[in-house]
């Protein structure tokens, strides 16, 4: 049996959620001008920053959870 305490997966869920929001915002940036002929509003451009933030948090979580206890 494994005696190691189970670590929380919450940071990974946050990272995946941020990345998904960022990808959806990136798609919105390209689709809104095609469908409406106007630019997307400023909040969508700020939401695109969630994609690299989620990717960074995912890498940090992977490095943090992959460390072995000595």
Non-local (6+) Cβ contacts of 65 within 8 A are 7, 12
pLDDT at position 5 over 60? no
pLDDT at position 37 over 80? yes
- What's this model's pTM, rounded to 2 decimal places? 0.80
pLDDT band for 26, please (50, 70, 90 cuts): very high
Q: Which of 64, 52, 46, 41 is nearest to 18 (CA)?
A: 52
Do 29 and 51 touch, CB atoms closer than 8 A? no
Specify the pLDDT at position 65.
86
CA distance 19 to 11: 12
Give the residue extent of every domain in the chain. 10-65
Compute the average pLDDT of residues 6-14: 85
């Amino acid at each position: 049996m494994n005696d190691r305490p189970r670590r929380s997966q919450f940071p990974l869920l946050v990272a995946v959620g941020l990345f998904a929001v960022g990808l959806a915002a990136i798609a919105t940036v390209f689709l809104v001008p095609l469908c409406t002929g106007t630019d997307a509003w400023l909040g969508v451009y700020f939401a695109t920053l969630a994609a690299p933030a989620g990717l960074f948090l995912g890498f940090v979580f992977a490095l943090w959870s992959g460390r072995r206890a000595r």
